């Protein structure tokens, strides 16, 4: 099966034209259209690159290339591109198109074990059956296997029937919420302060922790393809100390 055929299949399950305008999902590095194996990973780091078999395809969630390149130098992105070309490996990114079609759903249903009751674009909701924000936070620590979790409390304690979720970084969507409890990552201080004053409870589920399930979720959708699927765990740049 060729890279071009796999691309068409990916496009059928998560259309690339549904990505955000600022995104750069799609075929980022092409090869001679051969594909011995398919590797899946949240990101592409240099250690992962060294382990790739020649003539393969790697599919990541985050695009290696976001902005136009003016030169190929010794930066991380340039070195990654050079390594891919040397190994004749192709690279496809499935970012906001996959968030929209699958990742939020997989995170809520498979990672949190909850049922989605409403979905609107990049926001998905499940029923709030917790007695308090602290109970919710304890549940999240258990499901995400983390020791600590950050909470920004709303100014007033208003009970919400729904809990909103956006994997990755979704604070910019807070103005569209149908809930006063929002789970997302990459929450900045000023965003937390403002949303607290606007009676939104924020729980930071971290960018990495909310999206590390990408490879596993996509592997389920690729089972019918006649290719070996290899899940790679890309490193989290942050460590707890």
pLDDT in tens, 141-164: 999 999 999 999 999 988 899 999
For residue 186, what are its two tokens?
């990459």
Q: In the prediction, which pLDDT does 158 show? A: 83
Residue 229 three-state SS:
strand
pLDDT confidence band for 186 (50 / 70 / 90) = very high
Render pLDDT for 48-62 as a digit per residue (tens, 0 to 9). Answer: 999 999 999 999 999
- Tell me how far apart the alpha carbons of residues 220 and 225 are, in angstroms, rounded to a whole number: 10
- pTM comes to 0.95
Render pLDDT for 26-37 as a digit per residue (tens, 0 to 9). Answer: 999 999 999 999
- Tell me how far apart the alpha carbons of residues 241 and 110 are, in angstroms, rounded to a whole number: 28
Across all residues in the chain, what is the average pLDDT? Answer: 96
Q: In the prediction, which pLDDT does 50 show? A: 93
**CA–CA distance from 202 to each of 60, 147, 154, 189 (Å)?**
28, 18, 8, 11
Residue ranges matching CATH 3.40.1390.30 in the chain: 3-94+212-231, 98-205
Q: In the prediction, which pLDDT does 141 show? A: 97
Render pLDDT for 76-134 as a digit per residue (tens, 0 to 9). Answer: 999 999 999 999 999 999 999 999 999 999 999 999 999 999 999 999 999 999 999 99
Residue 67 has pLDDT above 90, yes or no: no
Task: Give the CATH number of domain 3-94+212-231.
Answer: 3.40.1390.30
Q: Which residues pair with 116 in a beta bridge?
A: 126
Alpha helices in the chain (DSSP H): 3-13, 46-51, 76-86, 96-98, 104-106, 133-144, 189-197, 207-211, 214-221
Superfamily in which the 98-205 domain is placed by CATH = NIF3 (NGG1p interacting factor 3)-like (3.40.1390.30)
Q: In the prediction, which pLDDT does 184 show? A: 98
Percent of the chain past pLDDT 70, that is, above it, reads 100
């Amino acid at each position: 099966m060729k890279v071009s055929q796999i691309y068409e299949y990916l496009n059928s399950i998560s259309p690339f034209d549904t990505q955000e305008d600022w995104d750069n999902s799609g075929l980022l590095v092409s090869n001679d259209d051969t594909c011995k194996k398919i590797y899946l990973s949240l990101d592409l780091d240099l250690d992962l690159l060294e382990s790739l078999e020649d003539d393969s395809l790697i599919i990541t969630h985050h695009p290696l290339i976001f902005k136009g390149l003016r030169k190929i130098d010794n930066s991380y992105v340039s070195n990654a591109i050079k390594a891919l070309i040397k190994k004749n490996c192709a690279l496809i990114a499935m970012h906001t198109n996959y968030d929209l079609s699958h990742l939020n759903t997989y995170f809520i249903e498979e990672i949190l074990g909850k049922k989605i009751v409403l979905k609107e674009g990049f926001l998905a909701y499940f029923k709030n059956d917790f007695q308090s924000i602290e109970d919710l936070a304890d549940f999240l620590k258990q499901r995400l296997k983390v020791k600590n979790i950050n909470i920004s409390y709303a100014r007033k304690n208003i009970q919400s029937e729904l809990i909103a979720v956006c994997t990755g970084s979704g604070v910019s969507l807070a103005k569209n919420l149908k809930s006063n409890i929002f789970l997302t990552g990459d929450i900045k201080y000023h965003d937390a302060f403002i949303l607290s004053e606007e009676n939104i409870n924020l729980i930071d589920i971290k960018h990495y922790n909310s999206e590390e399930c990408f490879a596993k979720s996509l592997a389920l959708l690729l089972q019918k393809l006649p290719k070996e699927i290899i899940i790679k765990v890309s490193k989290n740049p942050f460590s707890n100390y």
